[in-house]
């Protein structure tokens, strides 16, 4: 999805710890993750949300998206005390779904009907922090 520039500025100014970029050897940006903390105090617990993740096609399948996501998630949990992180992904985006579900262990929480501007549905996915630690006990 495309966002207006003020939306990016709002994220950068509000949650700079959650914005991460990946650079190529020459300093050019090849990927980024844009995330935020949900601000609705009426809906505890505290949680983060991945707004956008992108990696250039030429740089995919190198672990960049995974590294960006993990870095942002660490900051959500350690800096802001988030208990989980959520995101939306197009039902048709199999590669992204695989990353979130298989690699990063997100689970489908709900299906948002007509979420995208073109009418496509989205999976509402969540990853609870500390789940791996609890399963080892």
| pLDDT in single tens digits along all 137 residues of the chain | 667 889 889 989 999 999 999 999 999 999 999 999 987 766 667 899 999 999 999 999 999 999 999 999 999 999 999 999 999 999 999 999 999 999 999 999 999 999 999 999 999 999 999 865 443 34
**What pTM was computed for the model?**
0.86
Give the contacts of 76 (CB within 8 A, at least 6 positions apart): 18, 35, 37, 47, 48, 82, 85, 129
Q: How many CB atoms lie within 10 A of CB 37?
A: 19
């Amino acid at each position: 999805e495309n966002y207006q520039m003020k939306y990016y500025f709002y994220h950068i100014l509000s949650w700079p710890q959650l914005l991460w970029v990946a650079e190529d050897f020459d300093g050019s940006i090849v990927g980024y993750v844009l995330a935020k903390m949900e601000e609705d105090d009426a809906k505890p617990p505290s949680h983060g949300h991945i707004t956008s993740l992108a990696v250039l096609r030429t740089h995919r399948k190198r672990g960049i998206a995974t590294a960006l996501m993990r870095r942002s998630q660490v900051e959500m949990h350690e800096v802001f005390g988030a208990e989980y992180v959520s995101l939306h992904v197009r039902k048709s985006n199999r590669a992204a779904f695989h990353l979130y579900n298989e690699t990063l262990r997100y689970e489908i929480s709900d299906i948002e009907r007509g979420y995208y501007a073109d009418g496509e549905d989205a999976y509402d996915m969540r990853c609870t922090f500390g789940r791996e630690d609890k399963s080892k006990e």
